[in-house]
Structure 1
Amino acid sequence: MNLIDLENASTKEKILDVSRKLFAKYGFEGTSIRDIAKESGVNVSAVNYHFKNKAGLFWHNMVVSYEMMESQIEIFSKKCDSAIDLCMSIYDHFYQQSDALRSTMRMLLSESLDPPEDPAVAQRLTATFGPPGGRFIAAKIQQEIPYKFDDEGIYWAVKTIFGSIFHWSMMCKMAHIKKGHSLDYLIEPKQIRKDVERLITATLEYIKNHKEIFDKE
């Protein structure tokens, strides 16, 4: 890689880093290309050169975030012996990162956000197995099931488990739930964590006991 390539890579990474922070703070609509360029110390044309437009920049950030989550879940999967241990490690990690997760969800729900135009970005976001780390969750589950899962069953299990983890790890730190701690022990973080663990355990038990539904053979 020559000096120009290094400079371009450095500029691109800086724009990504700055835009990630601005998107998280102000949302997709509240952040402009000009804001990103100014904070990055580059001109608007540099942002457009690397990412074409604001939506392109956002989706590149999504790929980076996805890959970071995937890498972290892979690390957890190597350390955890069981599916439930892996899932609860993911939950605890997401709970600590709940502010960032909520910012990402807020941007994804924006009505003005168009689908990714870059074929490579679109391919990266759609070619993976479900949510970030889904393949590692699926592998752990399969280790504990005495028969071969069909693809539809695996995807159902991963979506069910990941959806609960993602939803409650964010909800736990929402203001109205925090304020409700003293009024209702059922929405305390410890209780919610226990409820998530129960749901995951129940899902795994359901799979184990219903071979006729999920057996690939």
Structure 2
Amino acid sequence: MDKKNTARQDSREKILDVAERLFSTSSFASVSVRTVTAEAGVNLSAVNYYFGSKKGLFQAVYVRRCTEMNRLRLDLLYSAADQARKAGRKLEMRDLVNALISPPVKWLYDEDSGLSVYIKFIARAYLEEASDMANVLEEEVAVFDKFIPFIRDIHPQLSDEDIFWRIHFMMGVMHHTINHLDRIGILSHNNCRATTWEDTRDRIVQFCVEGF
């Protein structure tokens, strides 16, 4: 990549980083393109140049890390399936739920790399009707289709309708926990603490496996 293309890529990434941070704490309507470009140190027209519009920018923020998150989910799924095959056993529901839940929960706790900002961003993204997220939400929905054949094998008695509803409920548990992680302390009068991502993940997985 030549210097010119490298500079363009750097500018694009700066815009995405700033937009991700701003959109993670403020609504789509309240974050202006001028604020984003000023904080990113780029020309005001850069958003339109790289993303077409403010909506395009918002959607690009979502897609950038969602693609990586889903890759990690599938890596965990296929690794667990391979281990189960080598051990001569069927894949367990716990393995599937763990593959779906682990990446976002782990990212929530990863403040050093900035991944926790993205998790806070997607918590708001699902509520932002003005940003027209329906088309890019298919990025996440598509990964669930990869899990369906494994779920059918584990639970052959369930119809596809049952499976999709249960995935929907499972994602609801995960998103509520991510969005309101501090509530467990309030609810339990500080007797419960979400201290590590592994503990939080394991509790979500246990609950969802039982619910499924």
TM-score by length of 2: 0.69
Q: Deviations over 1:65-120 (max 9, x none)?
A: 32122112112213334331231354344334345434322243235x2316xxxx
CA distance in 2, matches of 1:169, 1:105: 8
| Change beyond 3 A, Cα 1:74–1:52 | same
* Equivalent residues, number: 190
Aligned position for 2:175? 166
Is the 1:88–1:197 contact (alpha carbons within 8 Å) kept by the matching residues of 2?
A: no
RMSD: 3.4
CA distance in 2, matches of 1:166, 1:188: 18
Among 175, 187, 212, which residue is 1:180 paired with?
187
Among 111, 115, 121, which residue is 1:103 paired with?
121
Same amino acid, percent of matched pairs: 23
CA distance in 1, matches of 2:6, 2:38: 21
Is the 1:164–1:196 contact (alpha carbons within 8 Å) kept by the matching residues of 2?
A: no
Q: Does 1:137 align with 2:144?
A: no
How many angstroms does 1:191 deviate by? 9.1
Aligned position for 1:15? 15
2:131 partner amino acid: D
CA distance in 2, matches of 1:155, 1:56: 29
CA distance in 2, matches of 1:11, 1:199: 41
How many angstroms does 1:150 deviate by? 5.5
Q: Does 1:91 align with 2:89?
A: no
1:87 partner amino acid: V
CA distance in 1, matches of 2:163, 2:99: 20
CA distance in 1, matches of 2:187, 2:179: 15
CA distance in 2, matches of 1:56, 1:75: 29
Is the 1:19–1:36 contact (alpha carbons within 8 Å) kept by the matching residues of 2?
A: yes
CA distance in 2, matches of 1:49, 1:13: 13
CA distance in 1, matches of 2:6, 2:200: 50
Range 190-199 or range 19-28, more displaced: 190-199
| Change beyond 3 A, Cα 1:64–1:15 | same
| Change beyond 3 A, Cα 1:41–1:165 | same
Aligned position for 1:39? 39
SS of 1:29's partner is: coil
Whichever of the two has the greater Rg, that structure is 1
